[in-house]
Structure 1
Amino acid sequence: MTFKILKDIFKCAKLALFISSGIAVFFTLIYFIFYQGKDISLFGFIKNALYYIGCFGFLISAGFFIQKNATRPLTYQDAWNKMFSVLNLGLVIMFVSLFICFYGMIVQICIGY
């Protein structure tokens, strides 16, 4: 059981890495289009975007835990169990958001704030 939970959390970390990479590419394009001449650091801009999107994911996962029927089995529960054997949708969103914030912290450590 513990191995399955760790396996699901590792899948969440991998998914968050892909999402964070996409966020970084998207906000790099936004930076070069709108903020290139300004006094804003690119890595600081990406770090803030990762934090904001991670916190928004925490809000969504909190909504899953507050709503009464949100943690019920999904319509496509068999397909979901192929991807994540133990975690439900609210927990997956929570862990992905957590890892997105962790990747933002890694960017923050790399730029030396």
Structure 2
Amino acid sequence: MAILDSVKLRIGLADTMQDNLLNDLIDDATARVLTYINQDGIVNRTVPDAVTWVIKDIVVKMYNRIGDEGKTASGEGNVSNSWEAIDLSKYSDALDVYRESSQSRRPGMRFV
């Protein structure tokens, strides 16, 4: 199942009215994951299939925050809301596998 279709299923959307927004959020989440796994100096242009669930999870969180960006806490009566930061270290157990050191993945010279 494509990431867009999976995200729409998770948030309960059946039409295409939010597709542009969701695709933008998917692009942003993908960029965040690629930035995280590329911190070893090796440039990956695609997210490994094994961690697309991370992108889906991030996109659902981002979508659910629309209109409440930046909220840290609020309350009304007995109901309170707070948003956790989207911190990729939360997903480090899955993502760090793809952050191998550039020396172990690519032979060649290293300049210091």
Q: Normalised by the size of structure 2, how large is the TM-score?
A: 0.31
Q: Normalised by the size of structure 1, how large is the TM-score?
A: 0.31
